[in-house]
Amino acid sequence: MQLFYTPDIEPAHPQYFLSEEESKHAVRVLRLEAGSEVQLIDGRGGFYTAVIHDAHPKRTILNITSVVNGFNQRNHYLHLAVAPTKNIERLEWFLEKATEIGIDEISLIISHRSERKEVKTDRLNKIITAAIKQSIKAYHPVLNEPVKLGQLLQQPFNGQKFIAHCEPRDKLNLRDELALQGRYLVLIGPEGDFTPAEIESALQSGFKPITLGESRLRTETAALEACFEINFLNRL
């Protein structure tokens, strides 16, 4: 299967022109020719089948033959708010794997103990795009620009809100608290964890404290664990 990401495609149009970058990849790298069948995803749930009409390396023309809307749409909405790691490659790894597993929105939060306070999202979005193509997902996760934790706590969210932290306080298990097929927002802190004051602010903002197991996890591992658990519980 040759899959292309085409966020500007219009379902009602019978033809689509691949971008110059994608055209070059299709013709020069994949050696596709007129008559070759390809698949397209628009990042909004649309999965398209098309046939190459003109294999031009700068503007390949496709004839759309079928459209499936809501392709493999999941039964829940997951928003993870995670502190960027000092080593950006670890954040990139998390975004790739979380996208493959299933996630809808990611917020990068800056907290008191954050070791990285600036992030360029262009490259991160490219990693997410590559991951949806690799895992054949028609929905492109939203990656929000970095925001301070206090600002995120003030944003409205219609769903369950959780915070994972390492403080020795009573915590809940996701399997006991999760309302299935719902909407979820989970906070994951930096390597040094949230401060006690930040935890208290989150609790006062309606977040419930959760445990992700007995091990002390790195930021990106904790975020991926939360992503996996929520997806797994909603598949049962």
Among 68, 95, 117, identify where a domain stops: 68
Q: How many CB atoms lie within 10 A of CB 109?
A: 26
> What tens digit of pLDDT does each residue of 5-56 get?
999 999 889 999 999 999 999 999 999 999 999 999 999 999 999 999 999 9
- Do 152 and 216 lie in a common domain? yes
Kindly report the CATH number assigned to the domain that includes residue 132.
3.40.1280.10
Structural domain range at position 12? 3-68
What's the rounded Cα separation, in Å, for the pair 46 and 70? 6
- Do 7 and 63 lie in a common domain? yes
> Are the beta carbons of 125 and 7 closer than 8 angstroms?
no
**Number of domains forming the structure of the chain:** 2
- Do 169 and 99 lie in a common domain? yes
Kindly report the CATH number assigned to the domain that includes residue 54.
2.40.240.20
pLDDT at 169 (0 to 100):
87
Q: CA separation (Å) from 47 to 17, 76, 104, 123?
A: 16, 19, 17, 24
> What tens digit of pLDDT does each residue of 53-111 get?
999 999 999 999 999 999 999 999 999 999 999 999 999 999 999 999 999 999 999 99
Q: Nearest-CA neighbor of 102 among 124, 122, 131, 125? A: 131
